[in-house]
Chains A and B, each alone.
Chain A
Amino acid sequence: MSSSFWPLAVLMSSALPGLVIFFIPETRRTLRSLLNIGAALVKLQLVVLLLLGLYAGETYHWQWSLMPGLTLALKVDALAGLFLILSAVLWLLTTLYAIGYLEHSPHRSRFFGFFSLCVSATAGVAMSANLFTFVIFYELLTLATWPLVVHRGTPQSLAAGRVYLRYTLISGSVLLLGAVILHGLVGTPDFVPGGYLADQGVATVWLWVVFVLLLIGLGVKAALLPLHGWLPKAMVAPAPVSALLHAVAVVKAGAFGIVRLVFEVYGIEFASEIGVTDLLLVLAAATIVYGSWRALFETDLKRRLAFSTVSQVSYVALGVALAGPFGAIGGLIHIVHQGVMKITLFLSAGNYAETLGIHKVSEMSGVGQRMPWTTAAFTLGALGMIGFPPLAGFVSKWYLGLGAWEAGANWVLAVLLVSGLLNAAYFLPLLYRAWFGPPPPAWPQPKTLSRVFETHGLLLFPPLITAMLVVLLGLFAGLNIATLGWVQWLIHREFGL
């Protein structure tokens, strides 16, 4: 196992600039943006190189033993690659967007510092090779994102920060407890595709206890039903942060954790054998319907998107819980696709808030005329979310459907149907009002951010690029470089087909 330093390089590519940015004085805007974008590009470059290497059969493993029996190990495997490429691409776009968005606001060095730390924590979560490292980076993610949530320092953001912390820190210690018990039962070997709990002869009651503990720990970040309270409240954060929280880092880490837990700790057959996947299935389905249902009644735009995230992320959990190759493919693809679609929606919502001061859904009417391009991106994102064929959402829903049939859980198809309807119910009126509604006499806080485009260049292009991604990922799903091909290759290895 060549212990190469590549994974460390990826990790450091965003951590070091983050630390340096902390010390850059507030006024040095160009230096900071340069460093930021440079770091993002380097990281993207590294990740692409790693993926190509992976495809050629290389293995990248780095470890450092902290305590007897506990090593800090990073490994880039196919699953990690998937998450890495998502976070690298979306981080680049969100950084561009954030530079534009936080044009005149204070504390930017602090913001971008934590921003890069957060992404390096996400990379750590992706690349962690054993449960111990995973817990470390998982908690680091909380610490890195909290200052972002309370960045504005207003009483509401502090209250939201407090709620966020209460949820994530408690779940963090529950996760730690689960990991410790697992370490006590079976030690902490590396993640292995078929899962290492199968033949360890551990009493099933302990397996269930550990699974529930770990699920609670992961469930908070993956916004499963009872533990999703913090997500809508964290909407007071600035747009790039909520984009980061929902699409790139936090929620994805939770979902990714569940994937690692079921695939590479328990192993998919063993998990379904002892029935833990049924619990996950019911929970995910409930969250999907509940999330969309609550989104129906939210008058604030970003809260509505937040609740839609709550329901969308559980698709990943649903896919994983279907305990079959197709379901798994659907789940994994959705990690990437949901990320791309959700970031489009959030960036466009951010544009509306920043350029026209629109926060409420009712203020959206006629926005199509004033900002056609952003609304086009928003429309593509929304249609993708609903699952219309040519777009990315359709592909993952398609495979989830196949998985549901394959697992014999027909009611899951009904869940997909109902959630599709609910999605349409809370997105389409929005689109109708945006395109066909009469523009109001005056926008809440209109700002002319750029002479050429409808809003600041940096604010406009990222959502457009991600909207393009939504379409391309949907249309050219068959290509092996697209997520579907990569995931199929991964799943074949995983299930040993």
Chain B
Amino acid sequence: MQHMIGWVWLWPLGVAVLLAWPLLRRRAMPLLLLALLPAWALWGLAWGLPDLAMGKIDQAWSFWLLGSQWRLDALSHSWLGLTLVVWTLAALHSLVMVSAHQARYALFFLLSLSGSLLWVLAADAVSFYLGFSLMSLSAWGLVIHEGSRKAQRAGRWYLVLALIGELTLFVGVVARAAETGTTTLSEWSSVPGADWVLICLWLGLAIKVGVPLLHVWLPLAHPAAPVPASAVLSGVMIKAGVIGWWLLLPGEVMAQTAWPEFMLWLGVLTMFYGAVFGLMQSDPKTLLAYSSISQMGWLIWGLGWVWQMGTPEAGMLWLSAFALHHGLVKGGLFLSVGWVKQSALMAQPGLRTATWMGVGVLALALAGLPLTSGDWVKTALKAEADNAGAVVPSTLLWLGGLATALLMVRFVAVLRDLGGHKPTAAGNQTLTGMTIGVWFSWIALVGLVLVWPWWQTSHWGTGHVWSGSVQGLASVATALLLVWLWRRLRWPEWEAPPGDVLVGYQWLGAHAHRVFKQRHRSWRARKRLAARHWRHWQTARLLKSHWRTRWETRLSQWSVVTAGLMLVALGLVASVWVTV
């Protein structure tokens, strides 16, 4: 078992190499599922281990990349679970929903899969950084998969910001490694760090999490990517930032610093920011992207709370539960958008209603309706957070919940408009058995979302799903009321371009580019002018080259020679006479 971990993330890379084989390239899609098998095997086996709760199993390859180690403990086990579920669903759906450039899609899919598996299991900073950058850069391939202008623009912004984030993270990780003297993450959490190092680390990961002003790539990338890819982007990759914070930043000593306070308020701000701009979107996937940003607000807030606890380990379990909840629901919602677009399926009345039923369940779960995973997790978090030191007024949290609910209602409305027009009999989209099978896997996901909280509480043996408070119900109700009111009064529907502040960035970029271009052009003109002068001066000098022959003839005249003779003789005599 010990030696399994290393192979889990190497296996997808091996499969990617197989892609070089031409005949495999044509049927690349099944390979995606093949790549997930060892990971599932490890996840399954890990369940059986008794010491999973207490200790952890790790593996070290000293020769590998500056000596890397991996570990599997309770936390990483749950993250692994989340990753596997979402990636498997994405793999299944890409069988159906991705048709063009399958080989290239598969290559990038496998690379980013191995990256995400690696950073989940990483126990040393270098492996985490390797996993993180491998995932984020190969995800770029998924974002620009469609090749349309919108996808290219999204890809460009995604890459620029991912690169900046990744390099800042590199600087942070190197400085932190130098500061702590080791690269094993477990030892990092107890060593206090210099401010700028922590800021570098935080900034590197914040870009991936989508903190306001750094989030501009998210609303562009998610809609541009094919549906399964955006499910993974939202479900797994966005979590990498938060979990990265937890792994890299020194959790145990954070309590003394101002970080928790900052994180709490940032979390709340992100919730509202995501919601407000989300409402202004008309495209369902962009709306979902904004909702992910706002949900991330919860996680940021949660981290702020976790850091204040004496033993952050326990708090983290709840956070990973929330992450699991958000991953499943958001992945499901993104896939649902895919299904709604799948007109062939919609043609079947039975399937159509079932899909809409699933969408409804997921939306409500996210909105936090009682008895659903959303409400359970949120209320549990709020209850736990009360006894922490710094705290954020609970009304704000409630408003956050309301915002999410509003978003969900808006999403359903937008989705209905999208699906509303009659399902035209799309020519070639025949309803194959495979699509049905994949659809059922989506339905299974919806079921999992419902069942999961009950199973989790019984497994942990603490807390229970029905928290008894009506706050969740109240928020959903008020959300419905507000939307109905809005519609009735026909208030204007504000429209904001996806990536809101992005427009400002672009204007800034264009302006800087114009200024630079102008200066560059004048510099080149000056250079050309100097070159012309030099050539002119050269030819002038050549013309009067006879200068040297004139001097030479003058020098060889006898009067000059004799004068030279006498001069040198007298000079010598003088010089000797002077000193002696």
Contacts and interface: CB of A to CB of B under 8 A. Distances in A.
Given A389-B130, A397-B170, A476 B178 contact: no
Contacts of B179: 405
B520 interface: yes
A362 B134 CA distance: 28
A401 B178 contact: yes
Given A388-B133, A420-B167, A413 B174 contact: yes
A413 B171 contact: yes
Contacts of B159: 428
B170 A420 contact: yes
Nearest to B176: A405
Interface string A465-495: 0000000001111110000100000000000
Contacts of A420: 167, 170
A387 interface: yes
Interface in A409-428: 410, 413-414, 416-417, 420-421, 424, 428
Nearest to A401: B174
B65 interface: yes
A395 B129 CA distance: 12
Interface string B260-290: 0000000000000000000000000000000
A406 interface: yes
Contacts of A443: none
Contacts of B133: 388-389
A402 B178 CA distance: 5
B474 interface: no
Contacts of A476: 63-65
A402 B177 contact: yes
Nearest to A481: B63
B547 interface: no
A270 interface: no
Nearest to A376: B20
A22 interface: no
For chain A, which range describes its interface: under 10, 10 to 19, 20 to 34, or 35 or more residues? 20 to 34
B178 A436 contact: no
B508 to A, nearest CB: 17
Contact count band on B: 20 to 34
Nearest to A400: B174
A402 B175 CA distance: 6
A478 B144 contact: no
B449 to A, nearest CB: 35
A326 interface: yes
Contacts of B170: 387, 397, 401, 416-417, 420
A477 B171 contact: no
A475 B174 contact: no
A405 B66 contact: no
Contacts of A478: 61-67
B168 interface: yes
A189 interface: no
B198 to A, nearest CB: 14
A387 B174 CA distance: 13
Contacts of A395: 65-66
A297 interface: yes
Contacts of A167: none
Interface in B412-440: none
Greatest chain A CB density within 10 A among B66, B144, B164 is at B66
For the complex of A and B, list the 4 residue pairs with the smallest distance between their C-beta atoms, beginning with the closest: A401-B174, A405-B178, A389-B130, A478-B63
Interface of B: 61-67, 126, 129-130, 133-134, 137, 144, 147, 159, 163-164, 167-168, 170-171, 174-175, 177-179, 196, 520
Interface of A: 297, 326, 387-390, 395, 397-398, 401-402, 404-406, 410, 413-414, 416-417, 420-421, 424, 428, 436, 474-479, 484
Given A401-B175, A476-B65, 11 more contacts: A398-B126, A401-B171, A404-B174, A405-B175, A405-B178, A416-B170, A436-B144, A436-B147, A477-B66, A478-B62, A478-B64
